[in-house]
Amino acid sequence: MAKETGTADNPLGYAPVGGLIRKYAIPSIISMLIASIYNIGDQIFIGNVVGVLGNAATTVAFPLSYLCNAFAQLIGIGAAVNFNINMGAKRPEEAKKYVGNSITLIVLFGIVFMCFVYSLRTQLSLLFGATDNVLPYAEVYLQYTSLGLPFLLFTMVGSQLIRADGSPRYSMVCTVFGAVLNLLLNGLFMYVFNWGIMGAALATAISQFVSFLICVWYFPRFKAFKISRASLRISPIHVARIAKLGVSNFINQSIMMLNNAFLNNALTIYGASTIFGSDIPLAVAGIVSKLTSILISIAVGTAMGCQPILGFNMGAKNYARIKETYKKAVVFALAFSVLAFLTFQIFPRQLVSIFGSGDKLYYDFAERYMRVYLMMVFVFGIQPLTINYFTSIGNARQGIILSSSRHGFFQIPLLILLPLVFGFNGVLYAGPIADAMACALALFLVFRNFRVLTAKERQEREHTT
């Protein structure tokens, strides 16, 4: 019989919150950072070997990484939250069904997604802003990276479940090993074999396969229970509940993909009328996206690290620990966001130089774009942390509202409207304005939720006295 787990014998219910956040968040952050190395490593090697057009090609491909994250978080976070809530409520057999269903779902979707990207790589490249000069590079890059998509998606979902099962370090290992291999293979394929952008893409796909193998190895050793074949059978009820709690993250990542496509096209269209042309803004935007992926990794990694704590204590009705977890996580996210802001503002040229060289126009635009587009990055961590907060406590509606805000309600309309009035400058300022508006909305929603939790906490005390 599966072991019952309650607040009395599970550290999530009684251990100091600060220590739990460190235990779960640090491996999660490292996992997210290492995962971003797949993209950053490719960008650095491609920028130095292929040049500006290679950097632009990875910019064109980058929106698809948001789509991967969207489906991985739809299934992975939805399953992990349901797992933790049911374990906190002492329902291990129910929790098992969410784990099994999520495994089957991501296997099926990974195969479909690989076929979709491989067969439509030209159309997707054009949709995401490829110019005539960039298109051949983007097509090759997508052709070979698509082969690793099923393995990438399984690892992303599997890492969520492994972390929820109380093994955050193993979850970290799944991505660390693959990322290190990716860097080694990039050097071999691009500098020794001279395979160019194809070498970078193959290095990524092979590394993702290795991470997948490490991830799969864990599941026969799952701590909470033995995963049975019956639990792998698709259940519409459990799939719906997974989707309900994962949909806010799915919407957030999907809208980020659409926003990235809008941004790429706006940069090429309005950039063509400036001295910078179309290719330079597209290449620089890709570099900045990869740099900010480090910040995203910190924020999302912190949020994912908090997810087991929040989900378990929501199931156990321990509302004070829920509020404490969010507050301590926000302090950390803000501290790192401020550090990132200072780095981007003071060292823009040095950061861009890591990804290859360019002419004076290239560096001039890079400095301007980074300083303007990232001027509100010091509050960046609040929104993803708050989205995951609402998801983790089972409040899907608030999570959906917030996940749609930054890129959907705010930035995409700003990217359409501001350039009509301010031209190319309107494209640059859409990002920081959207960041400020999304932060304000996140804080409003979370503090309103705190009042609800405080009222529930008071009712629980009255009920027990």
- For residues 300 and 156, the answer to whether their CB atoms sit within 8 Å is no
Full domain range(s) for residue 364: 14-464
Q: Is residue 449 part of a domain?
A: yes
The predicted structure's pLDDT at residue 295? 83
The predicted structure's pLDDT at residue 153? 95
- For residues 287 and 362, the answer to whether their CB atoms sit within 8 Å is no
* Cα 76 from Cα 57, distance rounded (Å): 29
Q: Is residue 423 part of a domain?
A: yes
Q: Is residue 1 part of a domain?
A: no
pLDDT (tens digit per residue) in 282-311 = 888 888 887 887 887 788 788 878 888 888
The predicted structure's pLDDT at residue 1? 35
- For residues 382 and 439, the answer to whether their CB atoms sit within 8 Å is yes
The predicted structure's pLDDT at residue 354? 84
* Cα 459 from Cα 362, distance rounded (Å): 61
Q: Is residue 283 part of a domain?
A: yes
CA 47 to chain centre: 23
The predicted structure's pLDDT at residue 465? 62
The predicted structure's pLDDT at residue 9? 65
User: What b/e string do you get for 336-371 counting C-beta neighbours within 10 Å, with b at 16 or more?
Assistant: bbeebbebbeeebeebbeebbebeeebbebbbebbe
Mark the ranges of the chain whose per-residue pLDDT is less than 50.
Answer: 1-6
Q: Is residue 341 part of a domain?
A: yes
- For residues 171 and 159, the answer to whether their CB atoms sit within 8 Å is yes
CA 314 to chain centre: 24
- For residues 151 and 110, the answer to whether their CB atoms sit within 8 Å is yes
* Cα 261 from Cα 174, distance rounded (Å): 30
- At residue 247, the 3 state secondary structure works out as helix
- For residues 97 and 408, the answer to whether their CB atoms sit within 8 Å is no
Q: Is residue 3 part of a domain?
A: no
How many structural domains does the chain have?
Answer: 1
What is the dihedral sign for C-alpha 112, 75, 61, 270?
A: positive
Q: Is residue 4 part of a domain?
A: no
Helices 196-218 + 149-164 axis angle, to 10: 40
Q: Is residue 2 part of a domain?
A: no
The predicted structure's pLDDT at residue 35? 67
Rounded to two decimals, the pTM is: 0.72
- For residues 134 and 278, the answer to whether their CB atoms sit within 8 Å is no
